[in-house]
Amino acid sequence: MQIELKSPFDAHLHLRDGAMLETTVPASAEQFAGAIVMPNLQPPLTDRHTIDSYRARIEAIGGESFAPAMTLFLTPSHTPADIEALKGVISAVKLSPAGSTTHSEKGLHDLVNNHSFMAVLEAMEAMDLPLCVHGETGDFVLDREAAFAPTYRALARRFPKLRIVMEHLGSRALLPLLDEQPNLYATVTLHHLLLDLDALLGGMLRPECFCKPVIKTPADREALQKVVLDAHPKIFFGSDSAPHPQADKARGAAGIFSAPVVLPALAGFFEQHDALDRMQPFLSDRARDFYRLDLPDRTVRLKKDPWRVPVSYGGVTPLFSGERLIWRVVDGA
């Protein structure tokens, strides 16, 4: 039995930089025709020079069959003119509230009352440039996404033509916003779709399952599964694959390296629910249409051929390390 996917696309990907690119880029390029590449490096991607340079480093490894769609890390110093100067260079702007996630120290504070931020959003709305948001507050860790709902609602209403993506959705409390606000969309990750807190804390602590926003309750997982299986038109796949060296993960760094197992694990999920026909729109069509991208013309094939996930890729522990998966990628040409 085989599955064919037409130009699958990862709408939320962290590749890191330096030597780690030799591990992360091939892991994604084998399975995807492109990705929205997130900018929170150290230092973050905040101008054309850093964006173009990073794109070149990715393309040197990924080749012509993998298209990195670049993003800008929004800081308090950015102006509308800065954003307008990047027309055609970036596919989106990434907003991380200060301190909310890895390398977000230079993010924004007080979003709703920040006048310079409002001016930037006005420019983005005029350019039809999407805003990708890591939506968490400083509340109790399981409540941080739900507590961000008023901010999502306020931004969506103030800028009704600005397309806003609620990234790596992990809380069922945010799902009603998709139908309430016409300009709110969402990405869903592999780990939020398949796991709950038991994977992280139910037995021995598993650092490879720690991320932000944290994986939550069975009820949250089941709610996400339902909207994905129901083929909600405003939800598409974004892995939020975010690798860290094993030493950093052991110290508690937030981020799950899922890139090597994404398509095999998702194939197992959709097959289990007799919904293999819903993989293509979730993994490519909706995101490609949303970002209006011209992706490399690729067909990625998977077949049922059990394999065991390596315990490490270039010193990075992957999701499902050492576990057996039923599907594998056999052709990414």
Active centre residues (catalytic): 240
The tokens of 138 are what? 């400083």
DSSP-derived secondary structure for 12-28? EE---SGGGHHHHHHHH
CA–CA dist 175, 169 (Å, integer)? 8
Under 8 Å between Cβ of 64 and 30: no
DSSP-derived secondary structure for 234-270? TEEE---B----HHHHHTT---BB-GGGHHHHHHHHH
Under 8 Å between Cβ of 7 and 297: yes
Under 8 Å between Cβ of 188 and 220: no
Relative to beta strand 324-331, strand 299-308 is antiparallel
Under 8 Å between Cβ of 122 and 159: yes
- Nearest Cα to Cα of residue 95 among 132, 141, 143: 132
| Residue 160 one-letter amino acid | P
